[in-house]
Amino acid sequence: MKLLNYNPNIIAVSKTFSDQAIIPLLDYGHVDFGENKVQEALQKWDSIKKKYNNIKLHMLGKLQTNKVKHAVEIFDYIHSLDNLKLANKLAEEISKKGKNIKIFIQVNLGDEMQKSGIHPSELETFYKNCCLLKLNIIGTMCIPPENSDATIYFKNLLNLTKKIGLNEISMGMTNDYLEALEYESTFLRIGTGIFGKRTN
């Protein structure tokens, strides 16, 4: 692998792990953490964020419209925007609370197994609609299907992202982050590789 000429962000994905596992990283000064459930994030991070107030919390999982209100309270980034109803609700809650939440559009790169994500052919229109809603869209995100060659998806997402003129790409997990870096990922989402195996 060639040397990187940029600094990707590393999100420590702490879902299912307790404060005990997270605190050493916080004390070390790590800033970016990821969760995939709103309820779990509120329970764990409300108090942690009061103590470590430079923390950036990332929502990585499927976001239901009825959880947006709470999501906007606790998260700084949302990686899973994938429909217009959700975009509208986010715009409403973000403006109500006067927050600046950075958002990624999740893209479904064509695999039938994937349920979440905007189809590539609809990405540009969807992005424009999000801009009209004044959402702060910073990039795109994908989750390649398990047991597939992720590089095809990473390459595809890099091209799509450049085409619409966005700079940030959320892709790459424990098993494929090196490949993601070859395709200019700027946000790696690493769980197991940092915290160890999840038991639930």
Ligand X SMILES: *Cc1c(COP(=O)(O)O)cnc(C)c1O
Interface residue list for ligand X (CB under 6 A): 13, 15, 36, 60-61, 143, 173-175, 189-193
Q: How far is the CB of 143 from ligand X (least distance, A)?
A: 5
Pick between residue 58 and residue 89 the one whose CB is nearest to ligand X.
58
For 51-59, which contacts have Cβ atoms below 8 Å and span 24 or more sequence positions? Answer: 52/26, 55/26, 55/31, 56/31, 56/32, 57/33, 58/11, 58/32, 58/33, 58/34, 58/187, 58/189, 59/34, 59/35
Pick between residue 16 and residue 88 the one whose CB is nearest to ligand X.
16
Pick between residue 83 and residue 129 the one whose CB is nearest to ligand X.
83
Q: How far is the CB of 176 from ligand X (least distance, A)?
A: 9
Pick between residue 72 and residue 173 the one whose CB is nearest to ligand X.
173
Q: How far is the CB of 130 from ligand X (least distance, A)?
A: 20
Facing residues of 170 across strands? Answer: 141, 187
